[in-house]
Amino acid sequence: MSVDTPRRIVLLRHAKADWPQVSDHERPLAERGRKDAPVAGRRLADSGIEFELAVCSTAARTRETWKLAAPQLPHRPKTVYEERVYDASPGELIAVLNEVPDDVSNVLLIGHNPGVRHLVDVLADASEGDALERMHRGFPTSAFAVLSYAGSWKGLEPGTATLLDYWAPHE
């Protein structure tokens, strides 16, 4: 694959989490989250993007979101559970994406706010349609943004991507 071939980066915020008396990292999904995660998975499948790699935070709510969303996809990508995605800044998330092998063209990152939402703002130098306007109304749980990027993953940096689409479960 040429490094100039457009790549897709999809940033998925975990589904709605519950607030039991556990550490933040171990918070499970709430009932609504268990309902919304498969819906997000179906919308990801409807996007037509074939993911070769999913990078998922190690937090319980992101792992559970992925477990419920992944079966909706026509092909389950290789999954890497990455502790650096938990509570990550946009810069830390870019560093994780910079490590993606160049033979991977489409990546799904399952993470947390505010990092995921801010990463869209940092990466996207442009957007198509009303995706950016809709995203700025909020980036709720189970929402995802689809970005396009051309170049080597090592070259991913602020302002190098285009926001193609944004979806939230209750739009």
Pairing of strands 6-13, 78-82: unpaired
SS3 of 57-122? ECCHHHHHHHHHHHHHCCCCCEEEEEHHHCCCCHHHHHHHHCCCCCCCCEEEEEECCCHHHHHHHH
Taking domain 6-167, whether its CATH number is 1.10.3720.10 is answered by: no
More confident residue, 125 or 151: 151
34 marked as part of a ligand binding site: no
pLDDT in tens, 11-61: 999 999 999 999 999 999 999 999 999 999 999 999 999 999 999 999 999
Q: Of 135, 104, 159, 133, which Cα lies nearest the Cα of 13?
A: 135
Cα 165 to chain centroid, rounded: 12
Q: Predicted confidence band at 1 (pLDDT cuts at 50, 70, 90)?
A: low
